[in-house]
Structure 1
């Protein structure tokens, strides 16, 4: 027996005696990111070559090496993401690693003295950023699938909330493919379970309370348990929210000319179809519980009742169903954004009457007024139009999630999903 042990050296002997070998996530992450990475490399190479061809360049001994180096940028960026193990800020991290990889690639090209087109390289950046972001999101999804729920009374109900995607297991059933163990903060934080959790932790498994995992998975908070005292902002979140005002003003300036043209045509059309006024002005609940006058184009006949809008509503002016679907009736709210009464992204402002009714019904509703209301928001792209008070309360869970997790990355996701909603013409009535 002693000879057998002496013949084995290092940690392999310890593993043979019963220790476990930790599973590596790198292969899984690379596999998840591979489609987006390959797409980014092919696009970068093709874009650079096309730019050179359009410029009548024929020095292929220079063009092809630069194209290959540019195609390596996404691979370098994704490799850095794998090493960094940061999935919380997919777009910010994609920007950071792409800038680093691009700088590294340009340094290599400069050292070789190969003539390059910086315009061609610059044109590859948007597709590279998009694909690297998608790769990061794909890696995050692959890791979220490698989770299990540690058994406790009520675990079956929690697994149902997670759509059955997380298996309920005992400590002995946790296999090498699991990376994250979801625990119940009330049941498992006890003297009885402390040694078990310690053993799981030493195996390299991440411990996470299932309510937090569910919040991230669903993109909404539990309203009943939400407390402002539990909200903790990072310095980057605080800085970004202060900087949002600058983003809003720049956005208003950029959109001013096209909005004036489209808005002018809409204003004229409404007056021709149904006379004036062309604007609909309503008091809405704003920042800090105050009120402000929200501007919209009037898309219904004059003197229409104030009931909730339904699909194919007969009160809508001819041709204005499309205007509502494309959200063109919201264009005058750039005035509210310029005044500082609204932001491009934030909780959607509701009428004063609805706000008062909901604040009387559920105290948490006032918390959505802590942030500036927005032209679009997380609740809008996640839930859509609300007809009843119950649906408004359901949307509140998304607004509070945004309040808790406000960030540049979340705003990017909201912007992309808003554009997708507009293109598909979903949600508006």
Structure 2
């Protein structure tokens, strides 16, 4: 039987009968991305104009149209990111859409037959990519505010672990700003909750278990529940990890000359201050549980005991505190990387006695040896220096997170955080 005709018609009438209007949050996403997008547009156009001026070009009727097209590239890229709605690989996705937008823009310029400078365009692309990446990360952060935790007996404790940033909701009190619903994998998988979750899914909400969200939020895994059988790698992760060896070799070759110069000066300084040897060689636990000889510059007095390094440790040689803070003493590990014993990024190798003690205490500790150890790593930039076994176990939760989520994007984040740590001279003792 048809319902009586209402004053409204079409889908507005359907909504009046109880249907729900979906919200895509495009406005909020664009607002959060605006600073990065506008900065990239302005810098790209400005760089191109400066390159043209330095070349003595004065044909502004040709220069300005190209500058405008370069300024539009970040707008196209960010628009594609907004529509895509995926934030799991911020750097890779930003690179892909920027390349697409650039190729499209170049084809448009070529069709107009305007003379362009490919040097100027090339110099503007790094700032474009940086701006689009910053915009994508800003959109990702804005999406994290669109989460609600479905009520269950343990919900208050989980909300506290999420720093109180995720509200507790019920199926009837989900606000219009909520996009993702966190559920408890045990409590909400009962028979009575099945229809409720189905209706939430059909209403357009994303459904995720709170342990999965908490893992991504904190950047660490629950060691007690970790199981290698639950780890699943995408084809892109597998391809990237296979390519890491080539990246490591190229990185060593690029850094070889400055490392030899700086390392040679430090080697000479240590011999003058405290005599030889200048290198410190220690067995470390490496890939597959095998031992390897890790190389470092010796920054402590000879025959120093093996106790953990403390703040302002008196055993450190004069002038070597800053060497340790800037991690210059780690330069000889480029040899370990070249030999294939280490990678630039991976779980930081620990000494054999510490590894044996922790493996005896915690069976899951051996899992960190599945990947090549690294010069820096997720645990290193997230937790820092570990003085005790308990702190090493805390770092294990970050290493296992890296084991599960290893990717180009995560390595980029680790590299950026490492540079920031070096600049702030924090974490080292």
State the distance in 2 between where 1:311 and 1:71 align.
Answer: 49
State the distance in 2 between where 1:134 and 1:402 align.
Answer: 22
Q: Is the 8 A contact 1:5 1:13 kept in 2?
A: no
Please, which moves more after superposition, 23-32 or 110-119?
A: 23-32
In the TM superposition, what is the alpha-carbon distance from 1:5 to its structure 2 partner?
Answer: 2.2
Q: Which residue of 1 aligns with 2:425?
A: 425
State the distance in 1 between where 2:165 and 2:369 align.
Answer: 35
In the TM superposition, what is the alpha-carbon distance from 1:6 to its structure 2 partner?
Answer: 4.9
- Write out per-residue CA displacement over residues 212-236 of structure 1, whole angstroms, 9 at most, x where no aligned residue: 0000000110100100000000111
State the distance in 2 between where 1:80 and 1:253 align.
Answer: 37
Q: Which residue of 1 aligns with 2:136?
A: 136
State the distance in 1 between where 2:13 and 2:79 align.
Answer: 32
Secondary structure at the counterpart of residue 294 of structure 1: strand
State the distance in 1 between where 2:372 and 2:402 align.
Answer: 12
State the distance in 1 between where 2:165 and 2:211 align.
Answer: 15
Q: Which residue of 2 aligns with 1:258?
A: 258
Moved over 6 A (4+): none
In the TM superposition, what is the alpha-carbon distance from 1:175 to its structure 2 partner?
Answer: 1.3
Q: Which residue of 2 aligns with 1:375?
A: 375
Q: Which residue of 1 aligns with 2:110?
A: 110
Q: Is the 8 A contact 1:297 1:332 kept in 2?
A: yes
Q: Which residue of 2 aligns with 1:314?
A: 314
Say whether residues 1:215 and 2:199 are aligned partners: no
Q: Which residue of 2 aligns with 1:163?
A: 163
Please, which moves more after superposition, 134-143 or 334-343?
A: 134-143
In the TM superposition, what is the alpha-carbon distance from 1:94 to its structure 2 partner?
Answer: 0.7
In the TM superposition, what is the alpha-carbon distance from 1:9 to its structure 2 partner?
Answer: 2.4
Say whether residues 1:331 and 2:331 are aligned partners: yes
Count of aligned pairs: 428
In the TM superposition, what is the alpha-carbon distance from 1:53 to its structure 2 partner?
Answer: 1.1
Q: What do you get for the CA RMSD once the two structures are aligned? A: 1.0
Secondary structure at the counterpart of residue 135 of structure 2: helix
State the distance in 1 between where 2:123 and 2:31 align.
Answer: 27
TM-score, normalized by length of structure 2? 0.98
Q: Is the 8 A contact 1:22 1:176 kept in 2?
A: no
In the TM superposition, what is the alpha-carbon distance from 1:8 to its structure 2 partner?
Answer: 3.0
Q: Which residue of 2 aligns with 1:89?
A: 89
Secondary structure at the counterpart of residue 182 of structure 1: strand
State the distance in 2 between where 1:218 and 1:117 align.
Answer: 46
- Write out per-residue CA displacement over residues 78-137 of structure 1, whole angstroms, 9 at most, x where no aligned residue: 011111112111111111000000011111111111111110010111111111111111
Q: Which residue of 1 aligns with 2:80?
A: 80
In the TM superposition, what is the alpha-carbon distance from 1:4 to its structure 2 partner?
Answer: 6.3
Q: Is the 8 A contact 1:381 1:417 kept in 2?
A: yes
Secondary structure at the counterpart of residue 415 of structure 1: helix
Q: Is the 8 A contact 2:6 2:13 kept in 1?
A: no
Q: Which runs of 5 or more residues in structure 2 are unaligned?
A: none
State the distance in 2 between where 1:80 and 1:303 align.
Answer: 60
Q: Is the 8 A contact 2:146 2:179 kept in 1?
A: yes
Matches within 5 A, 1:217-232: 217-232=217-232
- Write out per-residue CA displacement over residues 133-188 of structure 1, whole angstroms, 9 at most, x where no aligned residue: 11111111111110000000110000000000001111111011100000000000
TM-score, normalized by length of structure 1? 0.98
Q: Which residue of 2 aligns with 1:36?
A: 36
Secondary structure at the counterpart of residue 135 of structure 1: helix
State the distance in 2 between where 1:3 and 1:289 align.
Answer: 72
1:301–1:150 CA distance, 2 compared to 1 (3 A): same
State the distance in 2 between where 1:152 and 1:276 align.
Answer: 64
- Write out per-residue CA displacement over residues 6-64 of structure 1, whole angstroms, 9 at most, x where no aligned residue: 54322211100111111122112111111110111011111111111111111111111
